[in-house]
A and B are shown apart, each in its own frame.
Chain A
Amino acid sequence: MNAPLPRPEPAEPCIDSRFTVPGMRCAGCIGKVERGLALVPGVAAARVNFSAKRVAVSHAPDLTGEAIIAELRKLGFEAERAADNPLARDDAETKRLLRALAVAGFGMMNIMLLSVSVWSGADAPTRALFHWLSALIAVPVIAYAGRPFFASALMALRHRRTNMDVPISIGVVLATVLSLYETATNGPHAYFDGAVMLLFFLLAGRALDAMMRSRARSGIAALLGRMGRGAQIVQPDGSTLYVEAERIVPGMVMLVAAGEALAADGTVLEGRTLVDATMLTGESAPRPAVAGDLVHAGMVNLGNPVRLTVVAAARDTALADIARLMDEAGQSRSRYVRIADRAARLYAPAVHSLAFLSFCGWLLAGAGLHQALLIAVAVLIITCPCALGLAVPAAQVVAAGALMKRGLLIKDGSALERLAEVDEVIFDKTGTLTLGEPRPVDLSGLGEEARRIALALAQESRHPLSRGLARALRQEGVEPAVLDGVEETAGQGMSARFQGRPVALLRPESEVAGLAADLVIAGKAARIAFADPLRPDVQATLAALSGQGLACSIASGDRPESVAAVARELHLFAAAGMRPAGKLALLERRKASGHRPLMVGDGLNDGPALAGAHVSIAPGSASDVSQQAADAVFVGERLMPVALAVRVARRTMAIVRQNFTLAVLYNMLAVPLAICGFVTPLVAALAMSASSLLVVGNSLRLARSAGKEGA
């Protein structure tokens, strides 16, 4: 992304906005979005970033984000506003590492070129020349490419700890200094190639790690930002002003339009409406709210626009309580020690003592100080943890990439490690096992023309029922009809004219149980009933999970009757009517009894449980709070990515263990040689690259196995 600087345009200053469009799948979609948006008046340019599923639109200031989202919906894509590059810092780190990697690669190749002629027996004057040339290249390259390691090692030493970077830094610096000395005294061996290659392979591991983190996170950040972050506040003079959620205070009067999420707790001032508490409590059926009723932030107003008196805002809402619970629950997980860190903790002292011992040993055996030091450095370099450094990130990047192609975004590497350890799965019901969005139960009663009219009406509205109807009809391949004068009456429905006849999609006149809409064509009404259906592949996913030896159960905040129905259908144990704290307590109990639960949930009420579970996954339709708390997010209507994630995570950890074994085997072969003083730079270089390439090659097998598995 180019920096969103306000570019001075001669005619009209444009502003840049970013939208996430998760539905883009192919070149056709890119073309459709870019060309379609370019035709919209006021849009200067639109550019799709396909990897991040984002589109950057440069448009006139008077064109609102909502209007652009509406245009995108007309093109057939669901879109959401995305924050402006929230990950600039992560990106910067990846870029820094990539630059260091490029420099190290350049240095490595050129020094190797010179080294090969030395190895093949150049005579003294040529050798000296080549060593000097190598030094000329190596010193600036090491100074530049080694910075990430030197900085981290210094930091660790300052805090009186050691990490993997300490032996690396000592090895590289010692090798460089010794090689300079050798070069100056016209010695036979220089270690510049070894030092630079060490940096190259280690930087490759680092860069892979950073790429995995930033890429998956940018995917998740792209999904964020769905909730009511602010509200229209009614001013004393009757006009309304948009105020952000943090600045709302009790006593204000908030105007909530139909389909809008509440940004603060409040009591209904006048009128009656329906609110959807799905996100907050997991209750799937909307409930009525009349004057005087208390409604909470996070609920969605389904009915009429209403005025609310704010009673609690910002930190005091029920929502904020959930956030606090989540914070506390998340603490336990941050103590999880990643497998690479555990390895480093064992590895660093071992390497140091080994090098130090061989130094002392050779001194005692009567070798000179110079030769003893040379051997100690050879030990430090040959035990270079580059295979170890690559073992974890290489496998994880490949696995995360394969999972991302199948619709699962992983936030960080430790999530894969924790996923592999899971032994039971706890599902939320609404929005997780079910779609969490009302869908028409049965459309077979509608004729071809009626469907096309219904789609044309539904796609113009943001009401949840309309969205569900439009999505269901699009899935059936219905093309929208061409309508004239489409109008939305808030709380009532949509109306328009089709070939001269009035058509409408309206709220049913009579109060009915459950959700329904009336499709009226030329005076004749057809009732469309809605329900929240199960995800299409729930059964298959549960079967796959139990096939992996995982026990599944439901923990829902919904009413017992509706939970029981789902539990019976899926043959699962279920707990209903749970509050956020209750879900968290359940997970704590499971963890205390030695289990490692995977929590899958979407609502705000699942937030604490998601943060408290050993590992957690949220659907892409979840509230942003839940997506932030979860370790992974899956996109789309299918639940199968959950089962796939566990399978791939286990496979990844198997590969990581193999990688470690390979690295250790390599060290067992190479270290004795180094200690005995047989290691020439040629041997060190060959052994090191062979071990690193072996690890990378082994990790690449994951891409194939993840692709094969899971139908």
Chain B
Amino acid sequence: MNIVGVLIPLALAMGLAGLGTFFWAMRSGQFEDLDGAAQRILIEEDSDGEGAT
């Protein structure tokens, strides 16, 4: 039974952490542009000089 006393608070804490992360992500605008985020991974970052695309 003792293990329950550890696991349940642990599970709750993890759940709360996830919830907190979601709130933070939403407040900082991470869900504003989901399609764009998917596309941006294809942009090459290193072309500082010429905008060659």
Contact = CB atoms under 8 A, between A and B. Distances in A.
Q: Do A and B come from one complex?
A: yes
Interface of A: 1-2, 26-28, 30-32, 35-36, 39, 48-52, 95, 98-99, 102-103, 106, 109-110, 113-114, 126, 133, 137
Contact of B40 (A27, A95, A113): A27
Interchain residue pairs A-B with the least CB separation, the first 5: A50-B36, A27-B42, A35-B51, A27-B39, A31-B43
28 contacts: A1-B32, A27-B39, A27-B42, A28-B42, A28-B53, A30-B39, A31-B43, A32-B53, A35-B47, A36-B51, A39-B51, A48-B33, A49-B32, A49-B36, A50-B33, A50-B35, A50-B36, A51-B35, A52-B33, A102-B22, A102-B23, A103-B19, A106-B15, A109-B15, A113-B11, A126-B1, A126-B4, A133-B8
B12 interface: yes
Interface string B18-53: 110011001001011111100111111001000101
Given A98-B26, A106-B18, A30 B36 contact: yes
A99 B23 contact: yes
A554 B31 CA distance: 43
Contacts of A102: 19, 22-23
A49 B33 contact: yes
B15 A27 contact: no
A1 B29 contact: yes
A106 B36 contact: no
A228 to B, nearest CB: 31
Contacts of B41: 27
Main secondary structure of the interface of B (DSSP, over half): helix
Contacts of A110: 11-12, 15
Nearest to B7: A113
Interface range for B: 20 to 34
Contacts, number: 67
A32 B11 CA distance: 46
A581 to B, nearest CB: 42
Contacts of B44: 31
B39 to A, nearest CB: 4
Nearest to B31: A98
Given A28-B53, A48-B33, 17 more contacts: A1-B32, A26-B39, A27-B40, A27-B41, A30-B40, A31-B44, A48-B36, A49-B33, A50-B35, A51-B33, A52-B33, A98-B31, A99-B23, A99-B26, A102-B22, A126-B1, A133-B8
Contacts of B43: 27-28, 30-31
Contacts of B29: 1-2
A95 B26 contact: yes
Contacts of A50: 33, 35-36, 39-40
A197 B16 CA distance: 18
A51 B11 CA distance: 36
Nearest to A28: B53
B41 to A, nearest CB: 8
Contacts of B11: 110, 113
A606 B26 CA distance: 40
Contacts of B4: 126
A229 to B, nearest CB: 27
Given A49-B33, A137-B12, A106 B39 contact: no
A1 B27 CA distance: 10
A2 B33 CA distance: 12
Nearest to B16: A106
Interface centre among B4, B12, B39 (most CB of A within 10 A): B39
A31 B53 contact: yes
Contacts of B40: 27, 30, 50
Contacts of A52: 33
A658 B16 CA distance: 38
Contacts of B16: 106
A31 B43 CA distance: 6
A51 B36 contact: yes
Nearest to A91: B32
Contacts of A36: 51
A109 B18 CA distance: 12
Contacts of B32: 1, 49, 51
Contacts of A26: 39, 42
Nearest to A109: B15
B35 to A, nearest CB: 5
B2 to A, nearest CB: 13
A52 B37 CA distance: 12
Nearest to A54: B33
Interface centre among B18, B36, B43, B44 (most CB of A within 10 A): B36
Contacts of B31: 98
A26 B39 CA distance: 7
Nearest to B41: A27
Interface centre among B29, B33, B35, B40 (most CB of A within 10 A): B33
A126 B2 CA distance: 12
A588 to B, nearest CB: 41
Contacts of B12: 110, 137
Contacts of B33: 48-52
A32 B35 CA distance: 17
A110 B19 CA distance: 12
Given A50-B33, A95-B26, A106 B51 contact: no
Contacts of B8: 114, 133
A99 B12 CA distance: 18
Contacts of A126: 1, 4
Contacts of A39: 51
A519 B2 CA distance: 89
A48 B32 CA distance: 11
A103 B22 CA distance: 10
A400 to B, nearest CB: 15
A340 B15 CA distance: 34
B25 to A, nearest CB: 10
